[in-house]
Amino acid sequence: MAGTGADRDRAMRRNVWDRGRRRIVWSDGQVCRLSATEAAILQYLLDHAGQVVSRQELLQHIWGIAELPARSRLKTRTVDMHISRLRAKLRRGTDSGVTIQTVRGSGYRLTLSHPPLAVRADASALSPA
């Protein structure tokens, strides 16, 4: 029996990042919806998994802010706030296997553990359980 893409992914006990719908479907069927900014941050961190990504790099690639003046530290709090919200959503998943670590003085690093996060460019077959 072939089944849908969602059935196959659940059978494989995988978490699926559905970029098109800006959501994560956890292996237990829970669905976590992300804002456009959270989705962009998650995708950028996934593209750079295991690497340290600085706040400045996120500001540049997500918000289009090329350079901040030295005394505008307060503006970088927006990155921290969005990372905090994204972490909270990632923690809701049953054994999500996705962690965003703070690397003091450097930025953030996304790590993937078991079960892995599968990425689907076209995940139209996925639906909430």
CA atoms within 13 A on the CB side of 121: 0
Question: Tokens 């703070």 identify what position?
Answer: 102
Q: List residues bridging with 15 in a β-sheet.
A: 117
pLDDT at 15 (0 to 100): 78
Residues 6 or more apart from 36 whose CB is under 8 A from it?
Answer: 22
Residues 6 or more apart from 74 whose CB is under 8 A from it?
Answer: none
Q: What is the mean pLDDT of residues 28-34?
A: 88
pTM over 0.85: no
Domains and CATH numbers, the chain: 5-119 (1.10.10.10)
Higher pLDDT, 119 or 3: 119
- Residue pLDDT, tens place only, 76-91: 688 999 999 999 988 8
pLDDT band at 98 (very low <50, low <70, confident <90, very high): confident
Burial class (CB in 10 A: 0-12, 13-18, 19+), 75: middle
pLDDT at 2 (0 to 100): 45
50: left (phi over 0), alpha (psi -120 to 50) or beta: left
